C-alpha cells in the first residue's frame, strides 16, 4: 500500500524523490531527497538496523521512481552482503565492496567525471539545478554502508568524497 502511491510533484510541478520508509504513529514516514536532502546520514549502534533501513530506502526509491529519475552507486565498505538484494535493480550503476585506497580512488575518479559531465550539461542548458534540466540525467545517489568505519580507516577518501558531494549537490 505504501508503494502504490503515485510519485509526488513539488509545488512547481517538478518530480520529487520522495520514498516511504514505513508507517509511524501519524501515518506514512517518507523522505524526499530533493526537498529534504540531498544528503542523509543514518546512525546507530551495531545491530540497530542501519543496513536494513538503507536497503529499504533504496528499494522504496527504485519502486517509486524509474531508472531515468534515480540511479544508485552502492558501497559496502566492509565487503558484506548489505546490498546484494539491491544490486540487480536497473537503477544500480555500480556496486563496490571491500573498498580499499586503490578502489576508492577509482570510485572517486568516476564520481568526479560524473559531476563534471553534469556541470557541463547544466551550463549548456543555462540552468543551475537538475530539477531545471528537464530530461537530464537521473539523480545519482551514493549509498555507503559502514560509513563510520570507512571514515576512520580511509580518511583521505572521506575528504575527497565530501568534496565530490559538495560540488555535486545540485
Catalytic residues, by residue number, are 146
Q: Is 154 helix (H, G, I), strand (E, B) or coil?
A: coil
13 CB-side CA count, 13 A = 1
Please give the grid coordinates belonging to residue 4.
Answer: 502504490
Contacts of 60 (CB under 8 A, 6+ apart): 2, 3, 19, 20, 21
Distance CA 142, CA 126 (A): 26
Pairing mode, strands 70-76 and 18-24: unpaired
The secondary element (H helix, E strand) that includes residue 138 is none
Distance CA 149, CA 77 (A): 8
Amino acid at each position: 500500500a505504501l508503494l502504490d502511491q503515485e510519485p509526488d510533484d513539488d509545488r512547481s510541478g517538478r518530480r520529487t524523490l520522495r520514498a516511504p520508509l514505513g508507517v509511524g504513529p501519524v501515518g506514512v514516514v517518507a523522505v524526499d531527497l530533493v526537498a529534504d536532502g540531498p544528503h542523509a546520514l543514518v546512525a546507530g549502534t551495531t545491530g540497530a538496523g542501519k543496513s536494513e533501513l538503507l536497503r529499504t530506502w533504496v528499494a522504496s526509491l527504485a519502486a517509486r521512481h524509474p531508472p531515468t529519475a534515480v540511479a544508485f552507486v552502492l558501497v559496502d565498505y566492509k565487503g558484506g552482503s548489505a546490498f546484494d538484494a539491491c544490486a540487480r535493480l536497473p537503477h544500480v550503476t555500480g556496486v563496490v565492496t571491500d573498498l580499499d585506497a586503490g578502489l576508492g580512488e577509482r570510485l572517486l575518479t568516476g564520481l568526479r567525471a560524473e559531476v563534471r559531465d553534469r556541470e557541463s550539461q547544466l551550463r549548456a542548458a543555462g540552468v543551475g539545478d537538475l530539477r531545471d534540466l528537464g530530461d537530464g540525467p537521473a539523480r545519482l545517489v551514493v549509498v555507503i554502508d559502514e560509513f563510520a568505519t570507512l571514515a576512520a580507516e580511509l580518511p583521505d577518501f572521506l575528504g575527497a568524497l565530501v568534496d565530490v558531494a559538495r560540488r555535486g549537490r545540485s
